[in-house]
A = this chain, B = another copy of it.
Amino acid sequence: MRVFRPAAVLASLAFTLPAVPLLAQAAPGAEAKPSPEREWEKRLLAVPSPDEMREAVRRLSARPHHVGSAYNRETAEWILSRFKEWGFDARIETFDVLFPTPKERLVEMVEPTRFRLALEEPAVAGDPTSGQKAEQLPTYNAYSIDGDVTGLLVYVNYGVPEDYEQLERLGVSVEGKVALARYGRSWRGIKPKVAAEHGAIGCLIYSDPREDGYFGGDVFPKGPMRPRDGVQRGSVMDFPSASPGDPLTPGVGATKDAKRLPVKEARSLTRIPVLPISYGDAQPLLAALAGPLAPEGWRGALPVTYHVGPGPAKVRLKAAFNWDLKPVQDVVARIRGAERPDEWVLRGNHHDAWVNGAEDPVSGLAPLLEEARALGLLLKEGWKPKRTVVYCAWDGEEPGLIGSTEWVETHAEELRQKAVAYVNSDGNARGYLGMSGSHTLEHLVNEVAREVQDPEAKVSVFRRAQARAIASASSAEKRKEIRDRADLRLGALGSGSDYTAFLDHLGVASLDLGFGGEDDGGIYHSIYDDFYWYTSFADKDFVYGRALAQTAGLVVLRLADAELLPFEFRGLADASREYLKELKKLLEQKQEEVAERNREIEDGVFEATNDPRRPTVAPKKEEVPPHLNFAPLENAMVALQKGADRYAKARARLDGRTVPPPVLARVNEMLVRSERLLVSPQGLLRRPWYRHLLYAPGAYAGYGARTMPGAREAIELKRYSEADGEIARIARALEEVAALADRAAAELEGAAG
């Protein structure tokens, strides 16, 4: 029999919190009680050192370290040795994965005049690593197919589906043409995918200075923003429609002996060749376009009049790649749990970069290493975690979340049994704590955020994030919610980092944490993302690195040491209700929009407003979206709220009481299983690797999350016939979670009674 004490019961730290609503401060039984756990937490918070992180960032970003590079291997081994030094049981797990690198890259305007694009980022004086040309990957988009195409150019704005609707209104088609899209709005891989769906034969993606250049601030090296020849590398693997990870081994680990698809059968390669270009390279192409004036929202910050084309600019795009297998080296380090070794708390950040990667990923990796160093110190001082702690430095994240995905696929069965939660980060900057993830962890991460001090504002990072949310709220109603709600809402996870396989494929409760919002940057995936840039323009004192190590470290520590896991269901109930509300609103909007447009078509509004000198094509009438049966979800909401409230009450009543170990074990097992109930073994329609029913990357958004994706995308993509079935499937999963919360509450009530 043990004394139960939620890990969250903590005194405030030494700094003063300004007045916030009572609810936002109170935790169940919020009296300061000294305890061993509390002492270890204090210890952990004191360790992370900006100097150590500075040195780690310098070391890790000293040379280019992309997948398969010499320095990537050195980096993995250095990390391994650190983990070992700190007392972790660490090793490197290697997978062999498809990683194409450029053999030939050519973009040339062939009409009306002829010139060849530079496709080259120059070294910058004063930035010592920018000149490491021999080791830098050239600018390219990984998983573009090989191709050599020539066609008239069409500017497609961000290249998302709405942009093609607009093109249709303008009477412009990309069929047989080369699409020029700008970065932004969607994940980059969506752009060639949608272009190909509309018949384009090639795709160029450029960084417009409106989103990523001088519009946002002074350019590098004077300021932090993207210079005219800076290029955003990046993967265009079609993971949202297929799956992330090695394209040749979908769904299974890319181990030595794994069965591999032939390259041409890989589903996640693009259908057309694609290359990224700088705005310096893009400007003369845009200037050479005629045809309709680009709609106002399509115009960027280059000093040209944006036209859509097609042509007269005609462009040749040639790309050829080495289609090699390369090793990815995940560093995995464990501290075995003293009491519950088969409950694993996982923490990860990737270590591979596109080039030097000081910001992405090293600024997130260095805090992770500081957490590990701190835990190592605690170990030496006698700390014994109840649960097993697993620290991971992933390889191959950049090309397609490969290291984490292959590891998860390889260890899927064990993880389904043992994984309590996965805590991710991926780069870090100055500013506000960003918190996304599974809503059962919402209360935990909010409580931790109340314990960590913001290095600039000298208030808790919770308080600072709350102030930011208030300052940027779009309505009085939203401000009221932010002020009155006990916790700040977690964002929903889409994709774009290593939590994806844990959350979406296995249903492991996951968090993604990181600071940001104050530093602008224009060096993403370029040779300028290096130590010089980071220490000139970003978190140059590494004080936000410390804040991240404190935040993520404390989350890990509480998860590892809690008697009763700090999961809660009220955040999940509330978030689900919001998602349902959004679904209903989305449907209603679509209904109104289509009905209104149909009416305007009938009334001749489009003809009456047509300008014969800028003719447009009127849209066609469409079926108004049908009403859908939301009742199963409505009912699930009632059950979930009831279960969540009952569990919260039962948990609160425990404070200070003993709970029999078998009860604790049963309830903890239920809590771990709660997220598993949200995944469906069949997976989502058309993309079965994605199994989570509440969160998925948008099939046409990429990194952007789609909540209740089966139902939401049925509406967005006009597959209305699927919607009722998907709504029912989500509702059943939430009903199961509700029942589980109810049973868990009953267990605790019995123990307290």
Contact = CB atoms under 8 A, between A and B. Distances in A.
A470 B600 contact: yes
Contacts of A209: 303
Nearest to A476: B592
Contacts of A603: 18-20, 467, 470
B518 A611 contact: yes
Interface string A678-690: 0000000000000
B468 A609 contact: yes
Given A18-B604, A603-B18, A218 B305 contact: yes
A217 interface: yes
A608 B476 contact: no
Interface in A259-273: none
Nearest to A470: B605
Nearest to A613: B518
Contact of A607 (B457, B470, B600, B613): B457
A574 to B, nearest CB: 24
Find the residue from A223, A608, A610 having the highest chain B CB count within 10 A.
A608
Copies in the complex: 2
Interface in A575-611: 592, 596, 600, 603-611
A303 B596 contact: no
A219 to B, nearest CB: 7
A608 B217 contact: no
A214 interface: yes
A713 to B, nearest CB: 26
A302 interface: yes
A215 B470 contact: no
A463 interface: yes
Given A18-B603, A19-B603, A603-B18, A608 B463 contact: yes
A612 interface: yes
Nearest to A468: B609
B225 A609 contact: no
A600 to B, nearest CB: 7
A293 interface: yes
Nearest to A303: B303
A457 B214 contact: no
Contact of A610 (B299, B304, B457, B608): B457
Contacts of A592: 476
A665 B607 CA distance: 46
A301 interface: yes
B607 A305 contact: no
A471 interface: yes
A301 to B, nearest CB: 7
Contacts of A614: 518
Nearest to A520: B293
B301 A608 contact: no
A302 B302 CA distance: 8
20 contacts: A18-B604, A19-B603, A209-B303, A214-B303, A215-B299, A215-B305, A216-B305, A217-B305, A301-B301, A301-B303, A303-B303, A430-B613, A431-B611, A456-B610, A457-B610, A464-B608, A467-B603, A467-B604, A467-B609, A470-B600
Given A470-B605, A518-B614, 18 more contacts: A20-B603, A215-B299, A215-B305, A216-B305, A301-B303, A302-B303, A430-B611, A456-B610, A457-B607, A457-B609, A467-B604, A467-B605, A467-B608, A468-B608, A471-B600, A471-B606, A476-B592, A476-B596
